[in-house]
């Protein structure tokens, strides 16, 4: 077993160090960039969580090694938490873990200890809590979950791979973090299906085919997370058998969540995904986005997120009340147009809302923050246009 210890976090992770990254398609860690990319430091670190208390996916080992190799190539270190355990069940006699790689003890000790990580990657860490029995042991106990919550609230990044929605079922907070409330429900047999890019402008979708036919294991979810998250890719259920979500089947998404960022990719079950350059690059860019190293494509801002900013504005004066009323009206019109697929109308209302926010909101700091988020909504809509969504 590795004796690698958790280094003291002598500096905050990338999300805090990089700060407000300029809106750009720049791809850090040496990938294609349209602007100067941030330089990776020797202490850039991610945490790969592969621990299971339930069914163990064979790709966990492949994913772990792929992320370690990506780190060696692109200038970051991957710590691994995947201890062997005897949590056996219908799936077999427990988890072999990765004893040659795993840390000696849980890294989820405090937000301060987790702060050394630019992003935490949950790699199909199934824990057999599907029954929603609160007595069933979870991947993270209460203390570990509290450490993760503090990390996210401090601006930490989280990535979920494949079965990251099939763990911590009894934690509503974790379910919201990972899937906007969506949890794994079931899946048909592995087969070829078509993934469709919805937001081509997001950094993680750069270079990903707009229509991508792949062999994988395709999850159905307990609900559609659209609205709480920004959908990056959908599944075309007409291209395979066994989908149960209908015409709108999100498979990859992202969100700004309680101060942090999360990015999720529901594909990746098959081992071959982890030798596919396009798939690997997409995941790498998802990690970079959650870390704050890259930005763009609307940065996963949703109408709900912007509505929250508007709701927090004061309405004590006539000017304040007019500002809230007019900005709200434009945002509502933009959301309705977006829901109807009319991007041109949505963009027109959003650009007006941005101008109104800057002109009417008396608190200049609040005005700037609101206008910037509305601009992100515009960038998102432009990405939908680019993808033909």
The DSSP code sequence of 144-162 is HHHHHHHHHHTT-EEEEEG
Indicate if the pLDDT at residue 16 is higher than 60: no
| 340-371 pLDDT, tens digit each | 999 999 999 999 999 999 999 999 999 999 99
**What are the φ/ψ torsions at residue 235 (nearest 5 degrees)?**
-100, 140
Say if 46 falls within a structural domain: yes
Does pLDDT of 53 surpass 50? yes
One domain, residues 307 and 278: no
77 is a domain residue:
yes
Q: How far apart are CA 60 and CA 100, in angstroms?
A: 14
Q: Write down the pLDDT at residue 1.
A: 33
CA 69 to chain centre: 21
CATH number at residue 141: 3.40.50.880
Same domain for 196 and 49? yes
pLDDT tens-digit series, residues 151-185:
999 999 999 999 999 999 999 999 999 989 999 99
Where residue 227 falls (left for φ over 0; alpha for ψ -120 to 50; beta otherwise) is left
* Predicted local distance difference test score (pLDDT) of residue 239: 98
243 and 161 inside one domain: yes
Among 239, 271, 291, give the residue marking a domain's end. Answer: 291
In a domain, 9, yes or no: no
Residue 251 pLDDT > 80? yes
CB–CB of 116/62 below 8 Å? no
On the question of pLDDT at 32 being above 70, the answer is no
Last residue of a domain, one of 291, 323, 352: 291
Residues 81 and 171 both lie in one domain:
yes
> What percent of the chain has pLDDT above 70?
89
The answer to the question of residue 33 being in a domain is yes
Same structural domain for residues 273 and 338? no
Does 74 share its domain with 136? yes
The CA distance from 155 to 157, in Å, is: 7
Does residue 351 share a domain with residue 212?
no
pLDDT band for 43, please (50, 70, 90 cuts): low
The answer on 146 and 256 residing in a single domain is: yes
Tokens matching residue 373: 């988020």
Q: What is the pLDDT of residue 84?
A: 97
Domain housing 280: 14-291
Over residues 277-317, the pLDDT tens digits come to: 999 999 999 999 999 999 999 999 999 999 999 999 998 88
Distance CA 15, CA 286 (A): 13
Phi-psi region of 57 (alpha: psi -120 to 50; beta: other; left: phi over 0): beta
Question: Taking CA 216 as the corner, what is the angle to CA 95 and CA 253, rounded to the nearest 5 degrees?
Answer: 90
Residue 2 belongs to a domain: no
Domain annotation covers residue 8: no
Q: Would 284 be classed as within a structural domain?
A: yes
Statement to judge: residues 82 and 136 lie in one domain: yes
Listed range (36-40, 133-137, 163-167) with the worst mean pLDDT = 36-40
Question: Which of 266, 291, 316 finishes a domain?
Answer: 291
Count up the domains in the chain and report the number: 2
Structure tokens at 260: 């942090």
Burial of residue 134 (number of CB atoms within 10 Å: 0-12, 13-18, 19+) = exposed
pLDDT greater than 90 at residue 29: no
Distance CA 116, CA 234 (A): 33
Q: Classify residue 231: in a domain, yes or no.
A: yes
Integer Cα distance of 276 and 373 in angstroms: 34
- pTM for the model: 0.89
Q: Does one domain contain both 322 and 212?
A: no
313 and 230 together in one domain: no
In terms of domains, do 100 and 246 share one? Answer: yes
pLDDT above 50 for 331: yes
Task: Inform me whether the pLDDT recorded for 25 exceeds 60.
Answer: no
């Amino acid at each position: 077993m590795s004796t690698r210890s958790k280094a003291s976090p002598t500096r905050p992770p990338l999300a805090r160090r990089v700060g407000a990254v300029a809106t750009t398609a720049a791809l850090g860690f040496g990938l294609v960039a349209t602007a100067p990319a941030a330089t990776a430091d020797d202490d850039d670190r991610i945490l790969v969580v592969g621990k299971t208390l339930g069914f163990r996916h064979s790709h966990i080992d492949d994913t772990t090694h792929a992320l370690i190799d990506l780190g060696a190539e692109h200038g970051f270190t991957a710590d691994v938490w995947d201890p062997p355990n005897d949590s056996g069940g219908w799936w077999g006699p427990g988890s072999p873990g990765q004893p040659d790689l795993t840390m000696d003890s849980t890294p989820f000790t405090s937000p301060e200890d987790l702060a050394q990580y630019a992003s935490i990657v949950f790699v199909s860490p199934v824990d057999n809590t599907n029954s929603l029995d609160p007595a069933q042991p979870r991947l993270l106990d209460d203390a570990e979950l509290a450490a993760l919550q503090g990390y996210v609230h401090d601006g930490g990044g989280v990535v979920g791979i494949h079965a990251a929605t099939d763990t911590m079922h009894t934690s509503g907070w974790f379910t919201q973090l990972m899937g906007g409330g969506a949890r794994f429900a079931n899946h048909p047999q592995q087969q070829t299906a078509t993934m469709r890019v919805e937001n081509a402008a997001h950094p993680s979708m750069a270079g990903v085919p707009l229509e991508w036919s792949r062999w994988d294991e395709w999850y159905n979810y307990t609900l559609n997370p659209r609205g709480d998250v920004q959908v990056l890719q959908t599944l075309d259920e007409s291209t395979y058998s066994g989908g149960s979500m209908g015409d709108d089947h999100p498979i990859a998404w992202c969100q700004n969540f309680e101060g942090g960022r999360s990015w999720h990719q529901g594909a990746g079950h098959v081992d071959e995904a982890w030798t596919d350059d396009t798939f690997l690059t997409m995941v790498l860019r998802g990690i970079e986005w959650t870390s704050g190293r890259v930005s763009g494509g609307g940065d996963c801002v949703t109408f709900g997120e912007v509505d929250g900013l508007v709701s927090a504005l004061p309405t004590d004066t006539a000017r304040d009340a007019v500002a809230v009323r007019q900005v709200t009206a434009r945002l509502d019109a933009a959301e309705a147009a977006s829901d109807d697929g009319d991007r041109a109308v949505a963009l027109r209302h959003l650009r007006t809302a941005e101008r109104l926010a800057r002109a009417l909101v008396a608190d200049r700091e609040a005005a700037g923050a609101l206008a910037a988020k509305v601009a992100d909504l515009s960038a998102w809509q432009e990405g939908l246009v680019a993808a033909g969504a």
